[in-house]
Amino acid sequence: MEFNEWIDNYVNDDVTKEALAKWNKEIEDNKNVKIAHEQGIQQGIEQRNVEIAKSMLKKGYSIDEIIEISGLSIEVINSLKENK
């Protein structure tokens, strides 16, 4: 049962319903902020790995070494190599 359904079924007081709905919205908003934060961190890590791979390409590291150190796929590394 969804939270809002539970409120409708078990809470008769409009003030309490409103307070619970507000509380539920705050929880959802916090979850969304946390998800966005985690996605931002992941994007930053991926971008840093790309920068590391670019640097390694410039210094002549092998594709296998770049894959091992950066964690990037061969497709991404080959794309970086082509755009060098």
Task: Identify whether 7 is part of a domain.
Answer: no
Task: Identify whether 24 is part of a domain.
Answer: yes
pTM for this entry: 0.65
**How many other β-carbons are positioned within 10 Å of the β-carbon of residue 56?**
19
Task: Identify whether 69 is part of a domain.
Answer: yes
Residue 78, domain extent: 14-82
Segment 13-25, tens digit of pLDDT: 788 878 888 888 8
Segment 11-68, tens digit of pLDDT: 777 888 788 888 888 898 889 899 999 999 999 999 999 999 999 999 999 999 999 9
Task: Identify whether 19 is part of a domain.
Answer: yes
**C-beta separation of 63 from 74 below 8 A:** yes
Query: Burial, 49: exposed, middle or buried (Cβ in 10 Å; 0-12, 13-18, 19+)?
Result: middle
Task: Identify whether 9 is part of a domain.
Answer: no
* Domain count of the fold of the chain: 1
